[in-house]
């Protein structure tokens, strides 16, 4: 299964590079913040075909194909092109994410940045790796000395959006500064210790499952916005569930936790 995961990442990466920096149409999905291109669909097809050929009885959840439920204890979760808006704008902040679950727990996760030819891989209990070299999140910087990634998408929920704006103000006042690619790069930079933390108020299971494993195995934390462990429940609604998340070093996470609890729980 590890070989299949790594092969799928590399195959998809080569395909995406064939489309990158070329004129490509981005079609709107749920909102102006959510788009899809031919490259997303082709990448999804390549990855799904490989997995179905190797493990025909396994479940698959993909951003473009939904939930293929075969009642297996194993589920592959796929984002065939994370950062589609960046990709369509010819910005190299994009990649591929694949996570393998056993039951409802992630056991392997990979992220590939094809423009830079960097592959991240984590296995539960065995650590995180960058092109085969172990990575460990250093715990030396606090919130004040850290760059924090913050991302939010279009929403009709004015109350939740206003809470996000309050959080944005808090980060501005208490961190070194804010950065954002609104893609896997933000989380990868947390795992590598380049960003002290990352907050994204709109993610789906395929956006965060592999990255959460990579971050945790590197020594970091990823929880939901209320400070609880993220729970994935594999039912027919899983593809529609939004997961507002916060990730970072333990020091940065603790600096944010009280404000997050006050903002997203106490005001409910």
Mean pLDDT, the chain, rounded, equals 93
Same domain, 99 and 196: no
Considering the domain architecture, whether residues 100 and 24 belong to the same structural domain is answered as: yes
CATH number, residue 11: 3.30.540.10
Within this chain, do residues 97 and 76 fall inside the same structural domain, yes or no?
A: yes
Q: Do 157 and 58 lie in a common domain?
A: no
What's residue 30's pLDDT?
59
| pLDDT score recorded for residue 196 | 95
Residue 6 CA: distances (Å) to CA of 2, 99, 142: 6, 11, 34
128 shares its domain with 29: yes
The answer to whether residues 153 and 259 belong to one domain is: yes
Residues 151 and 112 in one domain: no
8 with 122, same domain: the answer is yes
pLDDT-derived band of residue 25, with 50, 70 and 90 as boundaries?
confident
How many domains, the chain? 2
Are 148 and 170 within 8 A, CB to CB?
no
Based on the fold, state whether residues 148 and 260 are members of the same structural domain.
yes
| Residue 138 confidence (pLDDT) | 79
Residues of the chain with pLDDT > 90, as a percent, come to 82
Q: Which residues of 252-261 are buried (b: 16+ CB within 10 A; e: fewer)?
A: bbebbeeebe
Same domain, 130 and 221: no
User: What pLDDT score does 262 carry?
Assistant: 80
- Domain ends where: 135, 152, 182? 135
Boundary residue ending a domain (80, 105, 135): 135
The yes-or-no verdict on residue 32 having pLDDT over 80 is no
Domain match, 131 and 6 both? yes
What pLDDT, in 10s, does the model give residues 64-92?
899 999 999 999 999 999 999 999 999 99
| CA 143 from centre of chain | 22
- CATH number of the domain residue 169 falls in: 3.40.190.80
Are 18 and 93 contained in the same domain?
yes
Could you give the 3-state DSSP secondary structure of residue 230? Answer: coil
**Segment 210-265, tens digit of pLDDT:** 999 999 999 999 999 988 999 999 998 999 999 999 999 999 999 998 888 888 87
Q: Which two tokens stand for residue 12?
A: 């998809």
Measured CA to CA, the distance from residue 34 to residue 202 in angstroms comes to 11
* Confidence at residue 26, expressed as pLDDT on a 0 to 100 scale: 67
Q: Which domain holds residue 249?
A: 143-266
pLDDT higher than threshold 70 for residue 187 = yes
User: Last residue of a domain, which of 106, 135, 164?
Assistant: 135
Confidence of residue 164 (pLDDT cuts 50, 70, 90): very high
């Amino acid at each position: 299964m590890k070989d299949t995961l790594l092969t799928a990442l590399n195959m998809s990466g080569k395909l995406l590079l064939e489309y990158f920096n070329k004129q490509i149409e981005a079609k709107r999905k749920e909102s102006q913040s959510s788009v899809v291109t031919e490259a997303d669909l082709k990448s999804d097809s390549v990855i799904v075909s490989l997995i179905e050929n190797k493990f025909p009885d396994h479940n698959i959840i993909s951003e473009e194909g939904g939930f293929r439920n075969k009642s297996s204890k194993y589920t592959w979760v796929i984002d065939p092109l994370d950062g589609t808006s960046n990709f369509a704008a010819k910005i190299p902040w994009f990649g591929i994410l694949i996570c393998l679950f056993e039951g409802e727990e992630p056991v392997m996760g990979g992220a590939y940045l094809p423009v830079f030819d960097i592959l991240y891989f984590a296995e539960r209990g065995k650590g995180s790796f960058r092109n085969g070299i172990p990575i460990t999140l250093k715990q030396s910087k606090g919130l004040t000395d850290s760059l924090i990634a913050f991302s939010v998408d279009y929403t009709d929920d004015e109350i939740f959006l206003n809470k996000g704006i309050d959080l944005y103000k808090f980060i501005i006042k208490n961190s070194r500064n804010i950065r954002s690619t609104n893609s896997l790069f933000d989380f990868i930079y947390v795992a590598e210790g380049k960003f002290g933390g990352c907050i994204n108020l709109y993610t789906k299971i395929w956006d965060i499952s592999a990255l959460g494993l990579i971050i945790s195995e590197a020594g970091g934390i990823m929880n939901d916005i209320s400070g609880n462990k993220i729970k994935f429940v594999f039912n027919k609604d899983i593809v529609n569930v939004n997961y507002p998340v916060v990730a970072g070093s333990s020091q940065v996470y603790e600096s944010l936790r009280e404000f997050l609890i006050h903002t997203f729980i106490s005001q409910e």
